[in-house]
Structure 1
Amino acid sequence: MSLLQAAREVRERAYVPYSRFKVGAAIRGASGTIYRGCNVENVAYPEGTCAEAGAIAAMVAAGETRLTEVAVIADSPSPVPPCGGCRQKLAEFADADVPVLLATTDGAQIHTTVGDLLPGRFDAGHMART
């Protein structure tokens, strides 16, 4: 199964009773395993979970901490990029050159990288003391 197909399938499971805006994400761990996530809303809007965060949580729960590929899909006029928080979450587990596919359910696609989504990212190197 392709990463985009995995994201497309999990998108259908999104819990979005308020916005009705379903998002699916799939990431490939360094082992080759695909992890999926969908957005989960909450009546208290800030308490929801993004699809990308759900996929990352599934990967970490399975014991992996490196991802090698990302796909995100939504029913939108143009491909939807991850929010700022999810960009930082992706950067935590991916090198800057990791490919990211952003897609719509109608077939539009944008190919980018984690580094292009979050230039000047904050990473563990900023935590080092000299």
Structure 2
Amino acid sequence: MERELFEAARKAMQHAHAPYSEFRVGAALRTVSGKIFAGCNVENASYPEGWCAETSAIAAMVTALPKAERRIKEVAVFAERRASVTPCGGCRQRLAEFGTPQTLIHLCDEDGPVSVLTLGELLPQAFGMKGVG
């Protein structure tokens, strides 16, 4: 993973709106074409109406790119108070919508990646556009 992806996740985390959990998360994704999109978690007093960082990054990508370019190659996830954090179950499925089982998920601490998993490892039985798998 290039440092640029990690730095985008870290910078996004600094903008998180997490007044309830005080657990700020940033995520950045790189598309197959090399474009980077970042997002942070945005909490809401009406749980569970908030957005996770990965969801925010996906929304930024969808807003900016035509449908044919929305393929995720890799993702960096950075949380303020944990050595590494994985995407939640809902975000794993959202990532599967735009990624592949080989999409890399970099789990980061303050210095950078501490481990790398594939989306297939995190969500082995993902729902696809044509059903499960």
Give yes or no for TM over 0.5: yes
Structure 1 position 12, deviation (Å) = 0.1
| Two-structure CA RMSD over aligned residues (Å) | 1.6
Equivalent residue in structure 2 for 1:113, among 107, 112, 118: 118
Q: Is 1:26 the counterpart of 2:35 in the alignment?
A: no
User: Can you give the 5+ residue segments of structure 2 that lack an aligned partner in the other structure?
Assistant: none
Work out the CA distance in 2 between the residues paired with 1:124 and 1:41. Answer: 29
* 2:71 matched residue in structure 1: 66
Equivalent residue in structure 2 for 1:12, among 4, 11, 14: 14
Secondary structure of 1:5 counterpart = helix
Instruction: Using structure 1 for the length normalisation, give the TM-score.
Output: 0.91
After superposition, residues 36-115 of structure 1 pair within 5 angstroms as: 36-63=38-65, 64-105=69-110, 109-115=114-120
Secondary structure of 2:130 counterpart = helix
Contact 1:76 1:105 in 2 (8 A): no
Secondary structure of 2:131 counterpart = helix
Count of matched residue positions in the alignment of Structure 1 and Structure 2? 127
Do the aligned partners of residues 32 and 108 (structure 1) sit closer, same or farther apart at CA in structure 2, a change above 3 Å counting? closer
Instruction: Using structure 2 for the length normalisation, give the TM-score.
Output: 0.89
Structure 1 position 104, deviation (Å) = 2.1
Structure 1 position 99, deviation (Å) = 0.9
Contact 2:6 2:112 in 1 (8 A): no
Do the aligned partners of residues 124 and 11 (structure 1) sit closer, same or farther apart at CA in structure 2, a change above 3 Å counting? same
Work out the CA distance in 1 between the residues paired with 2:113 and 2:131. Answer: 36
> Which shows bigger deviation, 72-81 or 6-15?
72-81
Work out the CA distance in 1 between the residues paired with 2:113 and 2:63. Answer: 32
Contact 1:15 1:39 in 2 (8 A): yes
Work out the CA distance in 2 between the residues paired with 1:20 and 1:60. Answer: 27
Do the aligned partners of residues 66 and 108 (structure 1) sit closer, same or farther apart at CA in structure 2, a change above 3 Å counting? closer
User: Can you give the 5+ residue segments of structure 1 that lack an aligned partner in the other structure?
Assistant: none
